[in-house]
Amino acid sequence: MKKILIVDDEPNIVMSLEYTFKKNNFEVFIARDGLEALDILKTNFPDVIILDVMMPMVDGYATLEQIRKDKNLEHTKVIFLSAKNKTSDIEKGMALGADAYLTKPFSIKKVVETVLELL
């Protein structure tokens, strides 16, 4: 069973993604901010992380920087899912090591397709 970590502070987004990925036979972990995500990642090593940029505590960019320093997570795919949609935001996310960058509003189908393509 593939594992996915959803990191977002918007409850409706988390609920819809969690439901969709459980329905697609993923084991789903949830974090509401970057600090919670980094804590989960100490003991769980997902195949994919869906990561928001704008969150309380630690933003998605800083979270990704920490993820990319962790040897246990070197094969983990990271997809940014963010309302920050300027070219400079997308370029920054990709430069920090994201495998994909999707912008909000988004289609659940596109998120699932992107996850499956990366796996």
Q: How far is CA 44 from each of CA 4, 10, 39, 108, rounded to the nearest angstrom?
A: 10, 22, 9, 24
Point out which residues pair with 100 in neighbouring strands: 79
By C-alpha distance, which of 113, 94, 4 is closest to 49? Answer: 4
Q: What predicted TM-score, i.e. pTM, was given to this entire model?
A: 0.96
Contact 97, 68 (CB under 8 A): yes
Contact 81, 38 (CB under 8 A): no
d(CA 101, CA 43): 25
Q: What is the pLDDT of residue 57?
A: 86
pLDDT averaged over consecutive 10-residue blocks of the chain (119 residues)? 97 96 97 96 97 93 97 96 94 97 94 97
Q: What is the pLDDT of residue 110?
A: 96
Domain ranges of the chain: 3-118
CATH number 3.40.50.2300 is the correct assignment for the domain at 3-118:
yes
Q: What is the pLDDT of residue 114?
A: 97
d(CA 19, CA 67): 25
Backbone angles phi, psi at 85, to 5 degrees: -120, 15
HEC profile of 18-43 = HHHHHHCCCEEEEECCHHHHHHHCCC
User: Tokens 């084991």 sit at which residue?
Assistant: 27
